[in-house]
């Protein structure tokens, strides 16, 4: 998203309490991103904080369960929390969920990467 919306403030954080703070992105994900012109080598994982949710204008998540979790952390954020795949065809009324490829095959990472690129393109159209 940062590449597509460079003037917007965009942050990334995980929801799971099992997030390994400071962990880098898997090599295959970095490789796929690099082909799109993104250098994610310095990106480090972190767990989302309530303050991040409350200060955001828009919160994008990958799944409906994540959307509900954001609502539990910050009920007032429910209206500004949407699926990142909101505008992708093939999803339900709320959009398409994007699966987590962690510890899956190269093909799974490539599939998710394509979905992320398409979703980012769709958000770019709507936010510019």
pLDDT (tens digit per residue) in 30-67: 999 999 888 999 999 999 999 999 999 999 999 999 99
The DSSP result for 63-122, as a single string, is SHHHHHHHHHH-GGGGGGEEETBTT-TTSBTTBB-----TTS-HHHHHHHHHHHHHHHHH
Q: Which residue has the higher pLDDT, 91 or 85?
A: 85
Alpha-carbon gap, residue 44 to 12, rounded angstroms: 9
Q: Kindly list the structural domains of the chain, giving each domain's residue range(s) and its CATH number in brackets, ordered by start.
A: 27-127 (3.40.50.2300)
**Mean pLDDT within 93-99:** 92
Q: What is the pLDDT of residue 19?
A: 67
- What's the CA gap between 5 and 115, in Å, rounded? 17
pTM summary value: 0.89
Range list of β-strands (E), the chain: 59-61, 81-83
């Amino acid at each position: 998203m940062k590449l597509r919306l460079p003037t917007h403030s965009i942050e990334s954080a995980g929801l799971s309490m099992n997030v390994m703070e400071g962990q880098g992105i898997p090599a295959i994900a970095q490789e796929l991103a690099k082909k799109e012109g993104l250098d994610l080598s310095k990106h480090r994982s972190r767990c989302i904080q309530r303050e991040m949710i409350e200060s955001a204008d828009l919160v994008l998540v990958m799944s409906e369960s994540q959307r509900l979790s954001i609502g539990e952390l910050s009920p007032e954020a429910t209206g500004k929390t949407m699926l990142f795949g909101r505008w992708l065809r093939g999803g339900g009324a709320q959009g398409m969920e994007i699966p987590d490829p962690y510890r899956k095959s190269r093909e799974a990472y490539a599939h998710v990467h394509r979905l992320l690129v398409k979703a980012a393109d769709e958000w770019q159209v709507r936010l510019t």
